Amino acid sequence: MDWQTVIQLVQNLGFPVVCCAALFIRMGHQDDLHREEVEALKKSLDENTNVLTRLYEKLGGQ
């Protein structure tokens, strides 16, 4: 999107409406990124739990 389009949107719809729409789009993008980060963290935590469980069993834990 170029600056002329942004300027036209602000002139036609008003600054608050354009800002709200831009923030809404950005928030959706941030939600997607956060979801990917949480999945990666969950995978790492599961792998660490498996390693600790195997270590505990190898050391003779009950």
Query: Which pLDDT tens digit goes with each residue over 2-15?
Result: 889 989 988 999 99
pTM, 2 dp = 0.63
The residues near 18 (Cβ < 8 Å, ≥ 6 apart) are 6, 9, 10
Query: Which pLDDT tens digit goes with each residue over 6-48?
Result: 899 889 999 999 999 999 999 999 999 999 999 999 999 999 9
What distance in Å separates the CA atoms of residue 5 and residue 22, rounded to the nearest whole number?
A: 13
Q: Which pLDDT band holds residue 1 (cuts at 50, 70, 90)?
A: confident
CA 45, 50, 51, 52 dihedral sign is: positive
